[in-house]
């Protein structure tokens, strides 16, 4: 739980005696059911606790928010790192239309990419690219659901650079054995989204203490990775039931690969020229007979 989110719950608990009757109903419901309240509209929350929508809005303002949406956003930040997989299924069942799951999930992913585009710090992105290009060694770390993102980034960076180390994460000791030589000349790209990996946080703290540049790809300024980041890349994630929806983070990784590749265009051209010859010789990719396309 982030400090700000923790302070919000504590503030409601500490001020229960000063709230009006309606506000107490709202506060008690949020304290005990913040996982459900986070995805309710003001009207729905008012209906559940037995007060008007305007009372809910005034309650949010009383807590110091500009309006109910800001309170709701804070609650959503709170639950992302706290919900178990079972709770995620329960919460998402109220958010995703079972009649059209495909449309609901794809639309949510589109929304996350749009928000990421609006919110990402372009200066941090460009500085991250420069740190990668100037690094003696590039370490990439992502665990659990973030592991495929790290693997994707590592795959393409290995085609661009000769100094990439994708950290394998079978165990804590093995992880530290792979990164203990990291120095101020190196860069670590750490990837984690709710529920945040404790081992990733530990690794980021360690490499920061060694003086290495740290690039964090995570979901918000409230993320525990943000504390150790020299360059913070924020991409919105979401939970599609028990599944982590990481479409926006993957899009940011694509942009990172392209941006770095554009700076190494000549080297990449030579690399792929050589690779194409190897791929042809060893028949890595299937090549359809063009004539067969016209056969019936």
Residue 9 pLDDT exceeds 70 = yes
What is the per-residue pLDDT for 293?
A: 44
* Average pLDDT of span 34-59: 91
Q: pLDDT, tens digit, for every residue of 241-287? A: 567 789 999 999 999 999 999 999 888 888 889 989 998 988 888 87
CATH: 1.10.10.10, 3.40.190.10, 2.40.37.10, 3.40.50.300. Which one for 3-82? 1.10.10.10
Residue partners of 151: CB distance under 8 A and separation at least 6: 142, 166
Q: pLDDT, tens digit, for every residue of 72-120? A: 888 877 776 666 656 666 655 555 666 778 888 888 899 999 999 999 9
Residue with tokens 């993102």: 149
CB 220 within 8 A of CB 245: no
Which CATH fold topology does 115-280 show? Rossmann fold (3.40.50)
CA neighbor of 225 nearest in space, from 252, 189, 253, 185: 189
Q: Where are the domains of the chain?
A: 3-82, 115-280
Residue 199 pLDDT exceeds 60 = yes
**Rounded to an integer, what distance in angstroms lies between the CA atom of residue 222 and that of residue 213?**
20
**Rounded to an integer, what distance in angstroms lies between the CA atom of residue 288 and that of residue 31?**
61
């Amino acid at each position: 739980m982030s400090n700000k989110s923790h302070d919000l719950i504590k503030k409601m608990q500490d001020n229960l005696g000063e709230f009006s009757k309606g506000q107490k109903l709202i506060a008690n419901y949020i304290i005990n059911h913040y996982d459900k309240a986070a995805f309710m509209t003001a009207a729905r929350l008012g209906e559940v606790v037995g007060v008007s929508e305007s009372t809910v809005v005034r309650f949010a303002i009383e807590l110091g928010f500009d309006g109910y949406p800001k309170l709701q956003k804070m609650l959503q930040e709170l639950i992302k790192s706290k919900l178990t997989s079972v709770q995620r299924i329960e919460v998402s069942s109220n958010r995703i239309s079972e009649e059209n799951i495909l449309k609901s999930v794809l639309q949510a992913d589109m929304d996350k990419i749009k928000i990421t585009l609006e919110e990402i710090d372009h200066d941090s992105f460009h500085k991250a690219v420069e740190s990668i290009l100037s690094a003696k060694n590039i370490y990439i770390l992502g665990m659990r659901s973030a592991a495929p993102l790290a693997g994707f980034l590592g795959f393409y960076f290995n085609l661009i650079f000769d100094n990439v180390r994708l950290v394998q994460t079978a165990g804590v000791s093995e992880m530290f054995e792979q990164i203990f030589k990291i120095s101020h000349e190196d860069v670590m790209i750490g990837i984690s989204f709710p529920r945040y990996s404790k081992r990733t946080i530990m690794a980021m703290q360690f490499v920061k203490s060694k003086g290495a540049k740290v690039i964090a790809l995570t979901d918000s300024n409230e993320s525990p990775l943000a504390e150790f980041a020299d360059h913070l890349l924020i991409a919105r994630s979401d939970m599609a039931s028990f599944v982590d929806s990481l479409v926006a983070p993957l899009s940011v990784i694509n942009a990172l690969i392209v941006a770095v590749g554009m700076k190494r265009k000549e080297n990449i051209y030579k690399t792929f020229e050589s690779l194409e010859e190897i791929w042809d010789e060893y028949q890595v990719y299937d090549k359809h007979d063009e004539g067969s396309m016209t056969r019936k």
